[in-house]
Amino acid sequence: MTRAFVVIAALLVTSRAAAQQPLSQFVDAASSYEPALRAARHDEAAARSRIDEARAALLPSITALLGYQRNEVEVRTQRTSPDGSVLTATILPYDQFDAAVQLDVPLVDVAAWSALDASEADADGAHEATRAAEDRARIAVVVAWHRLVGARSVVDASDERLRVAQRAREDVGRRHDAGVAPALDVARADVEVGLAREAHTNAVLEERLAAQALFAASGLEPDATRVALDVDLAAERPLDDYRAMLDEMPALRAAREATHGASRRREVAWQRMLPVLRAFARERYTNAAGFQPESLWSVGVAAQWTFDFARPAALSTADHELAAAEARADAVRVAADSAVVEAWNRVEAGRARVEAATIALEASARAVHDARERYQVARATQLDLLIAERERFDATVAHALAVAQLAGARATLHALVGLDRR
């Protein structure tokens, strides 16, 4: 973020900077383009689907079975019934058919309820993660947009410097031809034109790089139109007011939900050691029923315990995942607090810097005017005029940089705490 502000070498000839399309257009474009944001939205949708998966474990389920097998031999047996009749039973037919339908109804499954709660926490966290991704995308656009604003201002300022240097070269040439200016003045003017041309080339390069950065952040190609960027010297509200908003930042809310989900999964790991109580109803048909009916139904209740080596390992895993989630939440809070403190202090420093740069810019403009008048009446040398022009250019650079830093810091501060969305 700091580097992004520093590279905004935006040079303003006045107190307003030129820019491309309005910032809101790039923010809107990034909302549907930014790859990380699109991935976060799909992650959220997947987390919502996992709620349905977890809920399904608490709902009745139906299992159907249909089977056929060919046996090598057929096994039949006979027995005499109490009334003296002989009954034949098929134990193993040549062609055996089996069919069964079973309804299972969970009655008590504590771990499944906790798993549902954990999945809901994960979905809430995914939602906040999406909002955090929106904030990151918006802040990236804000920084890139102000960078391009500054870069285009540098181009405008370097254009003006080049025009001034070329006019000065023409004037010195005429004075040299008239015999009132030495050849050294002509050489100095040529050097100044070369330096101005170099500054313009560098400014155009920075503009192209800034435009590419803005396109990469938003997916929208900046056009050549210009809008005004006002210089806002208003004081921000106290820093403590912004720090009080940290808890509502999506990134922190996502971290809290992730910690809650990890805590619930730890409970699930413990609760999977508890028995599961379920009811069932079964209907079965087979042509290998022996002396039983070919079609038979049954209902019942079953309690199931499972003990294996995976459960203690899962508990250890859950403990470490919870500790990691808590550590990440602490890291997110520290980073968010640092970002807000930095942006707020940049705003405060930027206000003072703009005020000082404005005074210096006005003073340098007067110095150039005086040097030019004194040069025309031979009371100042060409070197005096060149120095005054360079100082005015440097003052313009410093003013533009201060304006861009202030605007970028203020926009970033508001985006960090979501004020730009309220």
Judge contact between 21 and 222, C-beta under 8 A.
yes
Q: Give the number of other CB atoms < 10 A from CB of residue 350.
A: 25
For the record, the structure tokens of 81 come out as 């019934």
Instruction: Flag residues of the chain having pLDDT under 70.
Output: 1-20, 226-229, 420-422
Q: Give the integer Cα–Cα distance in Å for 207 and 185.
A: 33
Judge contact between 34 and 175, C-beta under 8 A.
no
Q: Give the integer Cα–Cα distance in Å for 62 and 72.
A: 33
Q: Give the integer Cα–Cα distance in Å for 321 and 261.
A: 10
Q: How many domains does the chain have?
A: 1
Q: What local confidence, expressed as pLDDT, does residue 181 receive?
A: 77
DSSP letters along 194-239, please? HHHHHHHHHHHHHHHHHHHHHHHHHS----S---EE----PPPPPH
| Residue-range definition of the domain harbouring residue 362 | 2-421
Q: Give the number of other CB atoms < 10 A from CB of residue 310.
A: 11
pTM of the model: 0.74
Contacts of 368 (CB under 8 A, 6+ apart): 385, 388, 389, 391, 392
Q: What local confidence, expressed as pLDDT, does residue 226 receive?
A: 65
For the record, the structure tokens of 248 come out as 């509502």
Q: What local confidence, expressed as pLDDT, does residue 398 receive?
A: 79
Give pLDDT tens digits for 12-64.
333 344 446 888 889 899 998 999 999 999 999 999 999 999 999 899 999 99
Q: What local confidence, expressed as pLDDT, does residue 193 receive?
A: 87
What is the CATH classification number for the domain harbouring 387? 1.20.1600.10
Q: What local confidence, expressed as pLDDT, does residue 4 receive?
A: 34
Q: What is the dihedral of CA 54, 56, 60, 65, to 10 degrees?
A: -110
Helix axes 35-56, 110-177, angle to 10 degrees: 180
β-bridge pairing 61-70 and 75-80 = unpaired
- How many Cα atoms are found within 13 Å in the side-chain-facing hemisphere of 396? 25
Q: What local confidence, expressed as pLDDT, does residue 17 receive?
A: 43
Contacts of 191 (CB under 8 A, 6+ apart): none
- List residues bridging with 176 in a β-sheet: none
Q: Give the integer Cα–Cα distance in Å for 277 and 107.
A: 5
Cα–Cα nearest to 340, from 410, 408, 242 = 242
Distance set, CA 97 to CA 71, 87, 282 (Å): 11, 21, 17
On the 0-12 / 13-18 / 19+ scale of CB atoms within 10 A, 331 is exposed
Angle at 185 between CA 181 and CA 186, to 5 degrees: 95
Q: Give the integer Cα–Cα distance in Å for 372 and 349.
A: 34
